[in-house]
Amino acid sequence: MKRNIGMLLLAALAGCGVARADVVLTGSLGGTSDFVFRGLSLTRGKPAAQASFDVEFPKEFYVGAFTATTDPNPGPSPNYEIDVWAGRYWRVSENFSADLRLSQYSYPDDPRRVSYNRSEVTGTLGFRNQLFVAAIYSPNTHAVGSAPGYQEGGAWALELSGRKPLGEHWALSAGFGHYNLEQVYGDSYSYWNATVTATLSPFELQLAYLGVDDHAADHFPSSTVGDRVALTALWRFSSTQ
């Protein structure tokens, strides 16, 4: 199942080359002082390079990819992560929007004895493009972050996030999430963030405060959990075909 989902998403990305009218290409190149995902540092507090690419098709369909350097484990560790996704966006009404996405997270040439690759389905509801509620489900999570799980199983997360523009160049955003890993680790944990973003097109700077509760420390190394501050610098680009 994992291979089939990955091949399906890669095929969707390959199809971007034959897309014709009304296609919007966007992406970014940059780096961060600490690569944090759902409260866990995947670089153990060290910098990471990252890049992303999205293709938006007519009728609100889209595909995309993200990659970043990683070093989640003090021992044998993967050098990078590659994520691919495909989904669709709906403008439900003047105030509400919806989004459904299928994602695949992969760590090529991962020397760890347990596979950290997984698939996820994410459904998101948005209000005025400023407040968002997301539900995420993975049917095949065996491990996340930097610690092998006890068994492969389903995992889910709930996230609430918001973004408030502060003038033309500034924005404030914040989020809170809960990651249920009961079937994998027999536990769950909560995480949060607050971010200030400065946009000086085509450049963007993000200063984020990120935290995670004490339950994460029961399963993951101390170098990957705890409160931390991360600075991210990006060069963004966009093109319409």
- Domains of the chain, CATH where assigned: 2-240 (2.40.160.40)
pLDDT, greater one: 11 or 213: 213
Instruction: Work out the pLDDT band at 75, boundaries 50, 70, 90.
Output: confident
Instruction: Work out the pLDDT band at 2, boundaries 50, 70, 90.
Output: very low
Instruction: Calculate the alpha carbon distances from 7 to 11, 78, 137, 144 in Å.
Output: 6, 21, 19, 21
| C-alpha span between 218 and 204 (Å, rounded) | 35
Nearest to 143 by CA among 220, 52, 35, 55: 220
Q: What are phi and psi of 110, to 5 degrees?
A: -75, 120
pLDDT digits (tens, 9 = 90+) for 138-161: 999 999 999 999 899 999 999 999
Instruction: Work out the pLDDT band at 22, boundaries 50, 70, 90.
Output: confident
Considering the entire predicted model, what is its pTM? 0.89
Q: Which has the minimum average pLDDT: 16-20, 65-69, 164-168? A: 16-20
> Under 8 Å CB-to-CB from 114, ≥6 apart: which residues?
142, 143, 148, 149
pLDDT digits (tens, 9 = 90+) for 166-186: 999 999 999 999 999 999 999
